Every structure is written in C-alpha cells, then in structure tokens.
Amino acid sequence: MIEDDPNVTDKRFPGNPTRPYRTTEPLRVLEEVIGWEPPPPAMVQRLREHVAELAGLGIEAMDD
C-alpha cells in the first residue's frame, strides 16, 4: 500500500531525502514514462499564486 498524504509525502525527512512516500513494502518500477513534458512556467506560477491566495484565506490541504 502506498500512502500519499500530501501533509506527509510532500515533506522531506532527515535520512530519507529521496523517498517521501511511505510504503510497507519496496516499490517496483514497472516502466519509464517517456515523452512527459512539464507544465509551462506560467501555469506553475498561477498555481503557486492560487495556493498562496488560499493560504492567505486560511485554507490549507485537507487532512482526512
């Protein structure tokens, strides 16, 4: 089971810098993603501004 809790997995932990996901068993890579293109910088900037706006309103990630 992979636990992808953004309140946990988006943070880095000492001694575990490249493994933010917590699993009970090792993960196996099945195939490589080829041809993926990152979103344009303008879109990333808009998303960051929106997140900052929400944070200013006191709205944060949901913690189920």
Give the model confidence (pLDDT) of 20-60 as tens digits.
556 677 778 899 889 999 999 999 999 999 989 998 998 87
How far apart, in whole angstroms, are the C-alpha atoms of residue 37 and residue 33? 10
Neighbouring residues of 7: CB distance < 8 A, sequence distance ≥ 6 = 61, 63
Q: How far is CA 14 from the centre of its chain?
A: 17
How far apart, in whole angstroms, are the C-alpha atoms of residue 14 and residue 38? 28
Is there a contact between 13 and 38 (Cβ–Cβ < 8 Å)?
Answer: no
Q: What pLDDT does 26 receive?
A: 76
User: What is the widest separation between alpha-carbon atoms in the chain?
Assistant: 41
pTM confidence score? 0.47
Q: For residue 39, what is the DSSP state?
A: P
